Chain A
Amino acid sequence: MMFNNNHEVRIQVRGVRKVYDTVAGGYVALDQVDFDAATGEFVAIVGRSGSGKSTLLNMISGIDRPTSGSVVVNGESIGDLTESKLARWRCRNLGLVFQFQQLLPTLTVAENVMLPMDFAKRGRGRDNRVRALELLDLVDVSDQSDKLPASLSGGQQQRAAIARALANDPPVIVADEPTGNLDSHTADETLETLRRLAGDGKTVVMVTHEHDVSRWVDRVVTMSDGRLFDAASLGALDPVNG
């Protein structure tokens, strides 16, 4: 298996703590988490439900803000950005893949892929369409480009969502349970696509319930009770790059 050896840090999480207010009091979702990911690295974050793995992903993608600590992605400390600046930053730097309801139902598949380009005010409409078709071809769903998402299978929708995440050619791809809703064959295809993207130099961080992803990822880290553990400390996983 090929692993990326470029050690330039693209994602740097330091001392991040996230506390949610609940009726029962403060709930600590992340507790002093440190995390790094390098250029071209494919990292899987695993853990049980409620362990804090999706919260960490939200911090990295700027979907949510830490209570304390810092998150630097591609050289930008995103905790300091306003929502407007964060949106512009996300356009250029980040592609997001979710588990469910990824595509906007009233837009065609191609339009869904073009939407981030529209938000980023990137290129002319016709050029954007050409790029969208190229990206859909990359994930093998270009024949579905002018259909509405409801007529695509779950796997096709997930691949179209990956194409959309690549729309503005971001250096970082984050994926939250991208295979959670897919059959094993389609899940393998999706993971292979993400693996290929990492091979092309993108940093891919994926949250998953699946422990058996070591074939595709460079590194697996585990979340438990809001804290991050490497595989060795848990003795359950086989981390590649520590």
Chain B
Amino acid sequence: MVEGAQRRRSSNRPRWQKVRRDLSPRRGRTLLVTMAVAVGVMAVGSIATALTVLDRELAANYQSANPASVILSVDNVDDSLVQAIESRPGVAAVEARREVTARMMDPGEGYVPTLLVVVDDFSNVSVDRFLPESGATAPGSTGMLVERSTRREVDLEVGDERLIKVGGAEPTLLEVEGFVSDPGRTPAWMTGSVIAYVTPEALSGLGVVSGSVELHVVSAETGDRSVNQELAQRLTAQVEAAGSFVTSVEVPVPGVHPSAGVMRTLLFLLQAFGVVALVAAGALVATVVSAMLRREARSIGLMKAMGAGPGQISGMYLVGVAGIGLIGTLIGIPVGLAAGSGFDSFAAGLLNIDITNASPAGWVIPLQLTVGVAVPLLAALVPISRAAASTVRAAIDESRPTPKVRVGRRRLLDPALALGVRNAWRVPGRTVLTVLALAVGGAAFMVALNTGVAWDAAVDAEFAETRAYQAEIGLDRAYPIEAVESALDGISEVESVEYWMSVIAQVKTGEGVGSRFPIYAIPTPTSMLSFPMEEGRALQPGETGSLVVTHLVNDPALPVGSTVSLDIGGTSSDWNVVGITRRLGAGEAGAGFVETLPPDVAPAGVTNRLIIASDYDVSSVIEAAEAGLDHAGIAVIATASADSGREALDDHLFILVGMLLAVAGLIAVVGGLGLLETIATGVLERRREIGVMRAIGAGTSTVMRVLMAEALALSLASWAVALVLSVPATLLVESITGMIFFEMPLETKFSSLGVWIWLAIVTVGAVVASGLPTLDIAEAPVRDALVTE
């Protein structure tokens, strides 16, 4: 049925009746504007929801673990010492635990690194708490509980049995009796290590009878690290006065999750792109609202001619725009919240946290209302005020915009294309907003790919260029190099080996303890590793007492040229810091390199870490080497391929770029809607012009060519602007991402692929955006087009 033929009940207040009917969803144009507002509100809402929920829940999850403020590694501890510490002023809670490096057999994959956390009483865990997830809440003497994030790395189910091997002891089967979540730990996919919880009895069953214990202490002043450092000093003195020996002291930054770097990167990027989405949504809404008002120009002129005053006209259209904004907002809010919650669930899975409260912060819905209602009103204010205050003639003329383009003398394009290109600039304000909204999406897309390329280049530089080895093998203790050489002799897979020593060192400062990191004693020069220097120089042959640290140590007590006192296994020694080298790695806290360790730490000619270069398959190299070592009675406690760290970093990259692309896609949809709206409005405004063209012989293809040329001109302009915008945005995002993640800016890289892919996307977008609204008019009878004015 023809709409106009319907008999309607007339309203006694026709002014508001017009507003109400203009808002009717049956009016396709109104629907498009409403959807544009909804998409803008959705984009802003989803990002703000994701941001606020993740930020809050990360902190809540970490705090729910009651994380330790001080961790002391002690050679042995008895219950009376634990009780004495617990009753000490300034101590809120204390718990003694052991953490043992082991390996778990993953069928088909070989042994994978495993951390065994030994818990005395699973029913009474008060510090660094973990929560039951499924299965048993406490394991038996032949079982274990496994941290749930492990399941992303190793296929495990309750009831599965796995061989666990600690040092040189015989592998023993332990059953997976349940899963727990440990919100205070770095997720397993980041460290590449299985995390399992066992009883002391189970540990004994694995052949471990002694070892150091960790005292996890929660300070009463948990928020102040300097207070915690003083507490650590007092506790160290107390433990040593009781006859025990403290091998290391760790004072974590309060409230900062161990994998906070990843989380901060995600949150920073969400914040940055939230602002970008806000700008793009605002530009889209402004574009569609001003276009809508332009279409209403003739109605405004007519109403003014009837005697409508500026206030009445403004009131009608402001109420109308607010109505459209409100409807769009009401659609966009729930969709945005749902999309944000979906992202939160995804991110929570990655970060191994539980979301207990999925509600966004209180300001998110007001922000969405602002974007959905206030931005359209602000965008509409100028055109409405202008139309309301203008003369009737000017208002009517608004419906026929005059081209404001310069026409060059030389015509490089054929007339149809030239007309299309000029049409794109008929209404400069609208064109600028359209181009801007689309360009922001394009820039976000390019930044995502550029950051991926820069990340990849940094990781490539680290793994392909600085590491010449393929496998690392850790031994349970130091062995004479001759014995190890002999064990590996004749193993063809092991083509080249360097014998390193690794120990844990802790910086000693006047105020107490400083950073803690591994130190590797390596042959100088080494053929396995190169040292890209950030500052200073590399180690030189025969250089005793010199230390090179990686930039990740990032300790102000270790500037190049300084002398630092290190506590290594209870022995203090002084070292000259000669250089800072760059070394990336997932979850790495930095490291130091020396040529020789003090004799009382490690005598000359011993090794506990084998660095192997080989052209053979890495797993076969590790398997063959381990078999040889085992045969010689040399216990292996850890094996790793040089690329295992890279895989973890690649996982980070996948998440980072994936998230950037998702947000870029969202912004691109916003920009695409803006383009569609602009072309559709332009077509509507020029129905008569198109009718004239067709009346003088232009075929459908010619008309389509003109309109597509217009859409392409806008798209190409947005592509060029996106390219320009992407340069500073890339520099910023690459720099901040690198600093947050690697504590160094990523080397600036640009992806030409991103530039060309975006060009293809906007070209296809232009064809679609011009094709849809022009199909009907291109085939409409000439008379219909001509009489519209």
Contact = CB atoms under 8 A, between A and B. Distances in A.
Contact of A125 (B4, B13, B27, B310): B13
A62 B301 CA distance: 12
Contacts of A106: 18, 21-22, 24, 27
Interface in A42-101: 58, 61-65, 83-84, 87-88, 90-92, 94, 96, 98, 100-101
A39 interface: no
B10 A111 contact: yes
A146 B11 CA distance: 10
B533 interface: no
A87 B309 contact: yes
A114 B14 contact: yes
A116 B306 contact: yes
Contact of B309 (A61, A119, A146, A147): A119
Given A65-B391, A115-B303, A147 B14 contact: no
A240 interface: no
B18 A63 contact: no
Contacts of A102: 302
Contacts, number: 128
A216 B169 CA distance: 119
B4 A111 contact: no
B402 to A, nearest CB: 9
A191 interface: no
Contacts of B305: 61, 63, 90, 96, 98
Interface residues of A, number: 49
Contact of B5 (A98, A126, A151): A151
B8 to A, nearest CB: 5
Contacts of A119: 15, 303, 306-309, 312
A92 to B, nearest CB: 8
A61 B391 CA distance: 11
A148 interface: yes
A148 B3 contact: yes
A104 interface: yes
Nearest to A161: B302
A112 interface: yes
A98 B388 CA distance: 20
Contact of A107 (B18, B390, B391, B393): B18
Contact of A87 (B3, B308, B789): B308
A148 B14 CA distance: 13
Contact of B393 (A58, A101, A115): A58
A115 B3 contact: no
A111 to B, nearest CB: 4
Nearest to A106: B21
B192 to A, nearest CB: 65
B464 to A, nearest CB: 63
A146 B18 contact: no
A111 B14 contact: yes
B8 A101 contact: no
B237 to A, nearest CB: 85
B6 interface: yes
A227 to B, nearest CB: 20
B748 to A, nearest CB: 47
B357 interface: no
A205 interface: no
A62 B9 CA distance: 34
Interface centre among A94, A102, A147 (most CB of B within 10 A): A147
A73 to B, nearest CB: 13
A145 B2 CA distance: 17
Interface string A139-152: 00000011111111
Contacts of B238: none
A110 B10 CA distance: 7
Contact of A64 (B12, B22, B392): B392
B204 interface: no
A18 to B, nearest CB: 11
A149 B12 CA distance: 17
A167 B307 CA distance: 11
A120 interface: yes
Nearest to B4: A150
B311 interface: yes
Nearest to A174: B305
Contact of B10 (A63, A104, A146): A146
A206 B308 CA distance: 22
A96 B389 contact: no
Nearest to B309: A87
Nearest to B21: A106
Contact of B307 (A87, A112, A114): A87
Contacts of B21: 106-107
Interface string A120-143: 100011101100000000000000
B304 interface: yes
Contacts of B9: 146
B787 interface: yes
Contacts of A96: 305-306
Interface of B: 2-15, 17-18, 21-22, 24, 27, 298-299, 302-312, 388-393, 787-789
8 interchain residue pairs of minimum CB distance: A125-B12, A150-B4, A91-B307, A151-B4, A111-B14, A87-B309, A63-B392, A106-B21
Given A58-B393, A88-B309, A147-B4, 5 more contacts: A63-B391, A84-B309, A120-B307, A125-B12, A147-B8
30 contacts: A61-B392, A62-B392, A63-B305, A63-B392, A83-B310, A84-B311, A87-B312, A88-B309, A90-B307, A100-B789, A101-B298, A101-B788, A104-B299, A106-B18, A110-B10, A111-B10, A114-B12, A118-B14, A119-B309, A125-B13, A126-B12, A145-B10, A147-B4, A147-B7, A147-B8, A148-B3, A150-B4, A151-B5, A151-B6, A167-B306
